[in-house]
Amino acid sequence: MYQYDYPHPAVTTDIVIFTLQDNELKVLLIERSNDPYQGCWALPGGFVDIDEGLETAALRELKEETGVTGVYLEQLYTFGRPNRDPRERVISVAYYALVPIDKLHVRPDSDASKAEWHACSSLPDLAFDHQQIVGLARQRLAAKMDYSTIGLNFMPDKFTLSELQRVYEIIKGVPLDKRNFRKRVLTFNGINDTGEKRQAGKHRPARLYTFKSQGTAEIIK
């Protein structure tokens, strides 16, 4: 039992974990095994330990839910509307993370009966105010695609420029011109030509590039 002179809220982190799969932007959702909202889909997250930093808590959740580390993580917003949780006053510090396509090894932990990737374009009803959290995260992601290198964090260690262009097209939802796209990304010198090529199908092999600073998002322009 822990006692305080004044009532204290509980503090959680919720984390919006994005990835790209099958040409779609997806978020990781867990099916809640406990009340409230039992059986309902929700964002991974949980209570912040009393001696644990906020980002540390988010990284812990991320690792527990997807097994990945060293990815792009950013604080999104703090949600604290009274009654957003029926149990007690809960203030949630939301984070969002970008997980490269090749790094995900989802292994749901004990709290969740299952964890699954859901396309952003057709999300189920979500517990609490998680719909709103996902919405804000998508908005932030889309905005940052324009003026930062955030998109590179979706890429595996080695990737082709066509793959990268596809990522931008999916998130922005518009087709891009190949020549202009290449001009722009090659002007920015944060990606390197590995010298290697990858053969995929009956056509010319593509050059492979790497992103120098995985896990970061530099502001450009």
Partner DNA sequence: GCAAAAGTGTTCTAGGTACACCCATGT
Partner DNA sequence: ACATGGGTGTACCTAGAACACTTTTGC
Nearer to a second copy, 48 or 152 (CB): 48
Residue 154 CB, nearest approach to DNA (Å): 16
Residue 189 CB, nearest approach to a second copy (Å): 23
**Pick from 54, 91, 101, 206: which binds DNA (CB under 7 A)?**
206
Instruction: Report the alpha-carbon distance of residue 157 to residue 211 in Å, rounded.
Output: 7
Give yes or no for a contact between 61 and 92, defined as CB atoms under 8 angstroms apart.
no
For position 132 contacting DNA by CB under 7 A, the verdict is no
Helix (H, G, I), strand (E, B) or coil at 102: helix
Among 12-20, 67-75, 150-158, 203-211, which window interacts with DNA (CB under 7 A)?
203-211
Dig out the tokens for 22 from the structure.
């099958």
Q: Residue 88 is which amino acid?
A: E
Which one of a second copy, DNA, none is in contact with 1 (Cβ closer than 5 to 8 A by kind)?
Answer: a second copy
Instruction: Report the alpha-carbon distance of residue 17 to residue 30 in Å, rounded.
Output: 11
**Pick from 36, 39, 53, 86: which binds a second copy (CB under 8 A)?**
53
Which one of DNA, a second copy, none is in contact with 182 (Cβ closer than 5 to 8 A by kind)?
Answer: DNA
HEC string of 123-163 equals CCCECCCHHHHHHHHHHHHHHHHHHECHHHHHCCCCECHHH
Q: Residue 189 is which amino acid?
A: N
For position 71 contacting a second copy by CB under 8 A, the verdict is no
**Pick from 7, 175, 195, 201: which binds a second copy (CB under 8 A)?**
7
What residues contact 157, with CB distance under 8 A and at least 6 apart?
100, 102, 210, 214
For position 221 contacting DNA by CB under 7 A, the verdict is yes
For position 136 contacting a second copy by CB under 8 A, the verdict is no
Which residues are near DNA by CB under 7 A? 160-162, 177-180, 182-184, 197, 199, 201-207, 221
